[in-house]
Amino acid sequence: MPRVRVHLYIEGRVQGVGYRASAQYKAQDLNLTGWVRNLRDGRVEVVAEGEQENIAQFIQWCRKGPPGSIVRKVDIQQEEYTGEFNHFGVTF
Q: Which domain holds residue 38?
A: 3-82
SS3 label, residue 67: coil
Domain assignment present for residue 92? The answer is no
Tell me how many domains the chain contains: 1
DSSP 13-60: E-SSSSHHHHHHHHHHHTT-EEEEEE-TTS-EEEEEEEEHHHHHHHHH
What CATH number did the domain enclosing 31 receive? 3.30.70.100
Kindly report, residue by residue over 22-76, the tens digit of the pLDDT: 999 999 999 999 999 999 999 999 999 999 999 999 999 999 999 999 999 999 9
Domain assignment present for residue 89? The answer is no
Domain assignment present for residue 67? The answer is yes
Domain assignment present for residue 91? The answer is no
The answer to whether the pTM exceeds 0.85 is: yes
Active site residues: 20, 38
